[in-house]
Structure 1
Amino acid sequence: MKQKIEKNTVQETLIIPLYSRKIAKEKFPDLIGDKSSDDIINKIDYDFSDKEKYFNSAIGLYGALEVAQREFDLECEIKEYLKKREDASVVNLGCGLNDLFSSVNNGKCKGYNLDFEEVIKTREELLEKQDNEFNIACDLNDYSWFEKIEKDKGVIFVASGVFYYFKKEEVKNLFVKMSEYFKCGALAFDTCNKTGLKMVLRLLKTMDMKEVGSYFCISDNLEELKSWSDNFENVSSKSYMNGYRKLKDIRLLYKFFNIFTDKIFNMQIIKIEFK
């Protein structure tokens, strides 16, 4: 029996990144190594017709490429961290239905997927866990989840499309508390500027998704972020679309879009290393 996903629910917000991965894999098979999107979608009872229509447009297809590129970027950050601490914990904040851990699992690390209870319930019905993988239902702003993460061998946190929906003070408090508790850990996440944030909201409306608050963004420099805590050893950023690999085998239009997202939306992956 298929898992029913209703319109205007928390579970529906999982559909966009999931369907984006499917489309990106179909259209850019040499770039995208997605393993699970088709299998998950086949287990879901949901009307994908409006999503299919959107992703058949030039803008929609580029959006799918963006989502897939974001997963690649965060995968790179995890693998880089695991080179130094191969048995560290890999923590996927706001995991949704992505299977990032399967792409980085070296058999020695541990994977933790964190999201709201209803999301984790849906995830457990659609995705099998690996032996060294754990799902944790929680609110990220309730820091009691810290105690459920093994931290003694290092921790790398990633968040994909998550903090846009947090208020600035929530993000600041979370980052500061994490840096205090998880010594020598690292956090990598995607962000954009105010113009990019407006684009996120416009995208949701275009796809007839439930309207949600969109709050957090970062200006064109990282100085304010660096000042949040003395426990931040280093704060750095890379271009979202161009910082981890050059996408050569794509249409000229999409190469232009890549420049546009860099210059206008300041889409980037930020990494914070804790002392």
Structure 2
Amino acid sequence: MNDTSSLQGVKDTLYIPLYARIYASKRFPNYFYDEKALLLENHISLKKIAQNTFEYFNMASVCRQQVIDKKIISFLEKNHACNVVFLGAGLETAYFRIRNNISNFYEIDLEHVIAVREKLLGHGKNEMLIGCDMFSMEWVKYLDISKHTLIILAGVFQYFTKDKIIHFIHQLQKRIPKCEMVFDATDSIGLKRANIFVRRTGNVNAEMYFAIDNPCEFAKDTNTKLVSVSGFFADALKQCKGLKLISKIMMFFSDRLKRTMIIHLRLNQ
């Protein structure tokens, strides 16, 4: 699978953030640099995405990951040898950016996606690739649950219903005692705009459903502790010289109006 000229279904949205990371690494390397993503630039066709995207959405994807990266690094510093689990991992390259050899990293996605990931990215010595449906909970058996565990979901929950997500979090609470979760969310208005963007890339079969308008209420619904809610763009607006004016305006108001958020929950209070 080395061509994305035909983007169909949720599984193919994994190429959109990959293109965004390549874009930002070339345009704003002082803010974000992803050597592993750049190595893939000439190996897969991203022309369809490049023709149909624009700067704000590329930066939204990259800034989301930059904020998540910092949260992972902070968790690693606090907990030393721990578990970091990427659910719906796709072609995310955080493992290669963070370069931690002490903790255990797990990349979870559907089997055919993991096959593509292994072909394009390989895996590190402390990185395990697991092909399964994350909702099946089969991947939990590979974890040492005595260790602190951070679960990362970037661009994943939006594709499922609120009820399914809440049930999933309750299942995690039962199975992993020392567990925290970091994920991105949009509000209802942001979700509508994101759906329009994905359709513009040529993918009409990846509708998104889940939005959060009040993170505190979501924490209550899931019986979790809300650790933090972070915007995407503050650092990028300071550091990325040469952003288009329309991008800067959209980034500023996205943070100001909490259109996009990184939510950090502690699952077991």
TM-score by length of 2: 0.91
* Equivalent-residue separation in structure 1 for 2:138 and 2:240 (angstroms): 45
Q: Which runs of 5+ in 1 are unaligned?
A: none
Q: Secondary structure at the match of 1:97?
A: coil
- Aligned residues of 1:151 and 1:182 also touching (Cα < 8 A): yes
- Preserved contact between residue 9 and residue 205 of structure 2 (Cα < 8 Å): no
Matches within 5 A, 1:29-44: 29-44=29-44
CA distance in 2, matches of 1:29, 1:102: 16
Considering only aligned residues, what root-mean-square deviation do their CA atoms show, in Å? Answer: 2.0
Are 2:5 and 2:48, in contact at CA under 8 Å, matched by a contact in 1? Answer: no
**Distance in 2 separating the partners of 1:10 and 1:245:** 28
Q: Distance in 2 between the 1:9 and 1:169 partners?
A: 22
- Please identify which structure carries the higher helix content: 2
Equivalent residue letter for 1:136:
I
1:211-226 alignment runs, 5 A limit = 211-219=205-213, 221-226=214-219
Which residue pairs with 1:271 in the alignment?
264
Kept after mapping to 2: 8 A contact 1:176/1:229: yes
Q: Say if 2:52 is the partner of 1:54.
A: yes
**Distance (whole Å) between structure 2 residues aligned to residue 158 and residue 24 of structure 1:** 21
Q: Does the residue aligned with 1:43 lie in a helix, a strand or coil?
A: coil
Cα deviation, residue 145, structure 1: 1.9
Residues 4-51 of structure 1, C-alpha deviation per residue, up to 9 Å, x if partnerless? 44612555322211111111111112111112122223232x3x3332
Instruction: State whether residues 5 and 11 of structure 1, in contact with CA within 8 Å, keep that contact through their aligned partners in structure 2.
Output: no
1:18 equivalent in alignment to 2:18: yes
Answer yes or no: is 1:179 the counterpart of 2:186.
no
Structure 2 residues not aligned, in runs of 5+: none
Amino acid at match of 1:77: K
Rounded to whole Å, the distance in 1 between the matches of 2:255 and 2:100 is: 33
> Letter of the aligned partner of 1:122 in structure 2?
V
Match of 2:221 in 1: 228
Q: Higher mean Cα deviation, 253-262 or 203-212?
A: 253-262
1:265 to partner: Cα distance: 5.7
8 Å CA contact retained: 1:195, 1:265: no
* 227, 247, 251: which one aligns with 2:238: 247
Which moved further from structure 2: 245-254 or 34-43?
245-254
Mark the CA change 1:156 to 1:124 in structure 2 (over 3 Å): closer, same or farther. same
The 3 A distance-change label for structure 1 pair 192 and 90 is same
- Shift of residue 254 of structure 1? 3.0
* TM-score, normalised by the number of residues in structure 1: 0.89
Matches within 5 A, 1:59-208: 60-208=54-202
Of 111-120 and 179-188, deviating more is 179-188
CA apart distance, 1:264: 4.5
- Deviation readout 1:134-176 (Å, 9 max, x if unpaired): 0011111112222122221211111111111011111101112
Percent identity, please: 25
